[in-house]
A = this chain, B = another copy of it.
Amino acid sequence: MDVSTEVLMDIFKNRGIRSSYTRMRIMGYMAANRNHPTADEIYSRLIEEIPTLSKTTVYNSLNAFVEAGLARVVTIEDNEARYDVDVSDHGHFKCQSCGRIFDFPVDMDCIEPKALEKFRINKRDVYFKGICPGCLDNK
């Protein structure tokens, strides 16, 4: 059991969810590839190494992560949920040309404290779309 496995087990335990081989692989994939993958992308990649993996398990695990506060859902596209291990406040930019999703910092406090004074805010999402610098250069 290597050190990163041990670290993940601790994280799971601290958040009150069981650690299992599959969950550690899924979380490991997300931590290594911070590309805001879909459940299907995670499944397609991991099925190569875990032939018994079920897509239901991927969904179950991701839902467990989100509930435990270990991941967030990125719904920048209306036909697919993406997942992000970075649960800190930040915005997402999706390039309409290459499809890549970029993180960017957001000053949430500056957005509009006044109109929402009487609201309790639990989640904040900022989604921008357009063309990324790389795609702009390729005309």
Chain A contact residues, CB within 8 Å of chain B? 73, 75-78, 81, 91, 93, 96, 102, 104-107, 110-112, 115-116, 118-133, 136
Copies of this chain assembled into the complex: 2
Please, could you name 5 A-B residue pairs with CB atoms under 8 Å apart, sorted by A?
A: A75-B78, A104-B116, A123-B127, A124-B126, A124-B127
Tell whether A124 pairs with B128 under 8 Å between CB atoms, given A75-B78, A78-B73: yes
From DSSP, what is the main secondary structure of chain A's interface residues? strand
Q: Which of B76, B77, B111, B119 lies in contact with A132, CB distance below 8 A?
A: B119
Complexed CA–CA distance, A16 and B130 (Å): 24
**Nearest B residue to A126, CB-CB:** B126
Chain B: minimal CB distance from A76 (Å): 8
Name the one of B104, B105, B125, B132 contacting A128, with C-beta atoms under 8 angstroms. Answer: B125
Contact of A125 among B107, B115, B116, B126 (CB under 8 A): B126
Closest CB-CB distance, A66 to chain B, in whole Å?
11
A46 to B123, CA, bound (A): 33
